[in-house]
Structures are given as C-alpha cells and as structure tokens.
Amino acid sequence: MSSPVIDFHAHVLEPEAVKQCAPHSVATGFGARPIAPGTPGFQLLGGMLDPEIQIRDMDQKGIGRSVISTATVIQSTWWAEAALAAELDRRANQRIADWVKHYPTRFTGTFTIPMHHMEAAMKELDYAVTKLDLRIANVSSNAGGRYLGDPKFREFWEAVVHHDLTVLIHPHGIADPRFQKFALWNGVGQPIEETMAMTSLIYEGIFETFPAVKVVIVHGGGYLPHYTRRLDRNFTMHPMSAQNIRKIPTEYLRCFYYDSCVYGNDVLKALIQRVGADRVVFGTDYPFGEDDPVGNLAAPEGIWAEAQNKIVCETPALILGL
C-alpha cells in the first residue's frame, strides 16, 4: 500500500468525564461492575488515556493515522442534565483536540454533543467546529429514545450539511437491563442499535433532504445491510413505510459508509458484495478489536488487493480530505 493505513474507529477517554459517566454506562452494568485495577479490560484503558501508548500500538499494527472518538459505551452523557452533559462533552472534545494539536499527522479528531438536549448540543457543535476545528460529529444511534432521523434532530443535520461535516454513528448501548445478561448489550445490542439508526435515517427521509451528507456507521452497520430485502417487500406491502422515501430501502445502503470491524472476513466480503468496497472504511475499534486487523485483511483468506487498498487508504482519506 502506497498510502498510510487510516483507522476510522479508535477510542479515547477523558479522565474526569469517564469518572462521572462510567457508573451510568452499559459497559459497567450501570455501575454494577466498576472499572478498576484487576477488573476485566482495565489494562486496555491505557491507550485511550495516553496518546503515546496509542501511537505505539498504531505503529505495531501498521496504522498511520487514527480517527479518535470518545468510547461512548463507557463515557456517554446520555444520562445527564443539559448543563452537566455539555460540560462533560466539552472536556472530552478539548482533550481530543489537544491530542490532534500535539500529533497532527497521527490523529484526526471527532466531537460529541449532548443530543438529548438540542439547545446545548447545537452550542457545543458550534464550539467544536469553530473553536476546536473538529470536523466529525460522533453521535449515538439514539438520544432520549429517539433515533437519529427523528424530526427533533433536523437542526443537527442542517448544521452538519452547513459545515460540511462527517457524522460517525457509534451507539452508546441499549439501556434495557435485559441486555446485560451474557453481555448481550455488546454482542447483540450494538448491531440492533446500528440497524435502528440506519432505518431511522432511511425512513425519515434524511437522504432525500440531505443527499450529500456523509455518514459513517461502525461495526459494518450491524444487521441491516444483510437483511434489507424484507424492507424492500414492505415498500409495496406496507406503503406507510415508504411515505418519506422514493426508492426501495436497499438502494439507500450506499448512502452510508461502513467500518470494517465485523470480526470475520467472510462477513466483510458479504458487506462488500452488498454496498461496494468504496463504501467501506478500515476500523479497528481500538483497543477492543482484533490483534492484527491490517494483517487479517491481507491474509490469504482476506480481502482482495483492490478492495483492501480502498478500505484502508483511499476511501478514508477521501472522507477526511487528505
């Protein structure tokens, strides 16, 4: 590969924000499993708190640049009132901007906003874009139980288009306590949330109103890319489903970009067959993903060379304007 590998899905944390948010997060069972030395996964936190550790890990894996985003399953402000949520998101955004300032060739930053309080959210979006020069909005699949296509969030999408931003969708997790058993919030819940976010954007007509908007969805978009034919049937069987769209749902799949973090090249190949290699970007879910994500794509059973180059270099660079 002639160009540096770009990872579109790498996580960071802000110490004070994570201290306050973790007890409300799905990852800790809403405080039932505190994050502390000796607990599962604690050793992974280092690279999310220290840029030099993350850069060391990037070098070991052959990654040139990472798009860094708050690990919202641990550090999301969905539970907080407007003022506190805005304060914690501001801390997180300033920390990300600081990493980018000190390592501009290694990191591209994203920002979070308190989407469940739209007035505060729009103020923080303006600050992140105009003062911190962050160009990617890191948002969850839903806010306050409303999914991203809901009319409540039209002001957000208008601002995204106005500022020519990219939207990175990463769920903060299903809050339903039933999904805590067997860690289903992670294994099943995240793909469900990604599916719901995508269907919300499609059915609410976001891509009809804002056809040029750039949306990257993590974990390969969850279940939806592999099961849209049932929705296509509903285009005629249940006309109410088509009230805001002009095409069958399958035709909107290429309105999204998808990261490659699907934990299997067989799944990734199926995704490419559905949406095209040019709509997939490399994502590791650092520090939680595969040990050798670049090598796995290049393995004999991996992704063919032309698709691989698009995924790890060309398409992410195009989105980032590099």
Return mean pLDDT, the chain. Answer: 96
What value does the mean pLDDT take over residues 289-312?
91
Residues 6+ apart with CB under 8 A from 52: none
pLDDT value of position 35: 84
The one-character DSSP state at 116 is: T
Contact 218, 169 (CB under 8 A): yes
Q: How far is the C-alpha of 75 from the C-alpha of 289, rounded, in Å?
A: 18
Phi, psi of 276, rounded to the nearest 5 degrees: 95, 140
Q: How far is the C-alpha of 253 from the C-alpha of 143, rounded, in Å?
A: 23
Domains of the chain (ranges, CATH numbers) = 6-320 (3.20.20.140)
Q: How far is the C-alpha of 210 from the C-alpha of 296, rounded, in Å?
A: 36
pLDDT value of position 302: 87
Residues 6+ apart with CB under 8 A from 42: 35, 36
The answer, yes or no, to whether residue 44 has pLDDT greater than 90, is no
The pLDDT tens digits of the residues spanning 248-293 come to 999 999 999 999 999 999 999 999 999 999 999 999 999 998 889 9
